[in-house]
Structures are given as structure tokens and as C-alpha cells.
Structure 1
Amino acid sequence: MKNHLLLFMAAGTLALSSCTQPGKKDQATTPASTESVKSQNLKIEFTGTDAFTIKNAKLKVSLYGVSEGLQDAPATLITESEFEVKTIPYTIELPVPGDAESKINPKPTNGVKYYIATEWDSDGNGKANEKGDIFIDHDKAFPNVKLNGETQKIYVKVLK
């Protein structure tokens, strides 16, 4: 009986010590690759000088990536989301996967360039990105963005 009690106490001590001191195996369960896949948010502020009337608030924003070293390569869609926008200026937070660069095909050779595109039937006539809709003002600035945590400004205008 005494031997069983000693054996029980030894097993209990081992169980408690394994709970309070993680071993190397426990520390290795959070690989760096898992952390790099976590998503981040791209903060985008839509702004412009036109008088904006929004009848349809549903805006779709897409993020594309392309290798800076390949001039004729098609861009790769990284992510897209829909937002409810009722006024301009307006700021959104687009969720971006942490491994965004690895999704680009063909693989980047000399860095990566990201840009956004929008699809918006803001005038509510059933046709997106046509006369009367709010659209990216490419004359003012191309919608390039950086995944650096800073708010990116995108200029918009009413298509005429």
C-alpha cells in the first residue's frame, strides 16, 4: 500500500511539473510559418472633391499584386471584400492575408507592386463602373498601395 502511495505521488509530481514548464516540444508548436499567414488590414481612405451622391452603398474592393520585375505579367487577385459606403471621404479596412506575396503568380523577381480596384454601382442604375458612378480617379493618382500599416489615400471621382 505504501509503495502504491509513493508511486501515485511521483506520478502526480511529474504531471504537475509538465504543466508548469513547457518543454521544447511545446515551444515548437508555433512555427514562424503560422505567424506569417496571419492576416493584416489594409487601411484605405477614399477621398475626392466631387459632390458625391450615393444611392447604392455596396462597394467591392479588390487587392491585386504583380512582380515589379515583369512588365507584361498579369496581376494576381490577392483578396476582395464588400463594404457599405454612405459618404465620401470614407475609410475601410481590407483584410489582407499575411502571405500575400506568395500568392502572386508568376513569382515576384524584383519586389512586388500592389494596387486596388473597385466595382461600384453607386448611382444604383444596375451597372457598375459606368457614367454617373463613383470610380477611382486615375488622372489624379494610380491606386497603388503599400502593405505597411499606414492609411493609403485613394482619390475618386464621378465618371462623366
Structure 2
Amino acid sequence: MRNHLLLFAAAAGTLMLSGCTQPQNKSTAESSTPAASTSETSSENLTIEFSGAENFTIKNPKLTVSLYGMDEKLADAPASLITQKEYEQKSVPFTIDLPVPKDAESKINPKPAGPAKYYVTISWDSDGNGKADEKGDIFIDYDKQFPNVKLNNEPQKIYLKVLK
């Protein structure tokens, strides 16, 4: 019984010590964040070519393109919004330049332990009924290819289709 009590006390002490060191690590990480935020004003463009095999009817030309990032090795972690921008397009195919902050990887939470993975989404009420991303709207063709992109200054291709 006495040994169990000593083990419990030792375990509690270890947990308390590890808890004391954790905030210090967080503040060290936070102190490096302002240095990274100084580069937020500069950005690069991600060129995205949208295409599709269907005949598209566009009644509402306004769409929003979003770029998300996540740790490639974390399957259950949610993706983080890096940037998004609204565009107007009256026909498909089309090409856009999406401004991407140079510190895009620093906007991913939780911070990637390995390589970061990026993908784009669109939100478009192309049929003009007041509701985006529903039957009749233009959407990313996930059956053809997932919209992964690389931030390497090369044009990226995304396939579109009409939701049915």
C-alpha cells in the first residue's frame, strides 16, 4: 500500500513538472510568431486553371475560391483556412491568380510536423437561386481529381462539374 502511494505521488509530481514546462514552450513559440507575421504583407500568386467537360450555364458570376492547408501526416486534424478571394467568371474554362501569403505554412493549426498539404475549394451559386453549392451549381469534380495544389509557382489544374 505504501509503495502504491509513493508511485502515485511520484506520478503526480511528474505530471506537475511537465505541466510547468509546457507554458514555457508555448511562450517560446509565441515569441517567434511576430517575426513570422512581418512577412504577412508579402504574398505570391497561385495560378489555378479551372476547366470542365460540361456546358456550363452561369447566371451568377460571383464565386469564392479558398485555399486550405493541413499537416500531411495528421489524418484527423482539421484543415486551416489560409486565404480566400472572390472572383467573377462568366464562362468555363478560366484561370485565376490567388494571392497566397509567403508564410502560408505558419497559418496552419496545429503546426505541421512534416510537410504541409494544400487544397482549394470553391463556393459558387452559379445558377443564381440564392444558395451556393447545391444541385445545379458549378462545383469541383472530386470524382475526377481531388483539388490538391502545390505552392511552387506552377499553374495548378482543377476540374469542375455541375452538381446533380
The TM-score by the shorter chain falls in which range? 0.7 to 0.9
Tell me what 2:56 maps to. 52
Tell me what 1:117 maps to. 121
Unaligned runs of 5+ in 1: 1-30
The Cα shift of 1:71 comes to 1.0
The Cα shift of 1:46 comes to 0.5
Which amino acid in the other structure matches residue 68 of structure 2? Answer: Y
Per the alignment, do residues 126 and 67 of structure 1 end up closer, same or farther by CA in structure 2, a change over 3 Å counting? same
Q: Is the 8 A contact 2:47 2:155 kept in 1?
A: yes
Report matched runs for 1:1-160 at 5 Å: 34=38, 38-160=42-164
Note the alpha carbon deviations across 1:52-86, whole angstroms, 9 max, x for none.
01000001000000001211000000000000011
Q: Following superposition, which runs of at least 4 residues in structure 1 exceed 4 angstroms of deviation? A: 31-37
Q: What percentage of aligned pairs have identical amino acids?
A: 68
Per the alignment, do residues 36 and 84 of structure 1 end up closer, same or farther by CA in structure 2, a change over 3 Å counting? closer
Q: Is the 8 A contact 2:122 2:140 kept in 1?
A: yes
TM-score scaled by structure 1? 0.77
3-state SS, counterpart of residue 106 of structure 2? helix
Which amino acid in the other structure matches residue 115 of structure 2? Answer: G
Unaligned runs of 5+ in 2: 1-34
Note the alpha carbon deviations across 1:91-139, whole angstroms, 9 max, x for none.
0011110000001000001100000111000000111011110000000
The Cα shift of 1:150 comes to 0.7
Give aligned pairs, total.
130
Distance in structure 1 (CA, Å) of the matches to 2:80 and 2:58 = 30
Distance in structure 2 (CA, Å) of the matches to 1:34 and 1:80 = 20
Which amino acid in the other structure matches residue 80 of structure 2? Answer: T
Tell me what 2:11 maps to. none
The Cα shift of 1:37 comes to 5.6
Q: Is the 8 A contact 2:49 2:95 kept in 1?
A: yes
Higher-helix-fraction structure? 2
Q: Is the 8 A contact 1:62 1:80 kept in 2?
A: yes
TM-score scaled by structure 2? 0.76
Task: Choose 34-43 or 148-157, whichever is displaced more.
Answer: 34-43
Q: Is the 8 A contact 1:37 1:99 kept in 2?
A: no
Distance in structure 2 (CA, Å) of the matches to 1:86 and 1:146 = 26
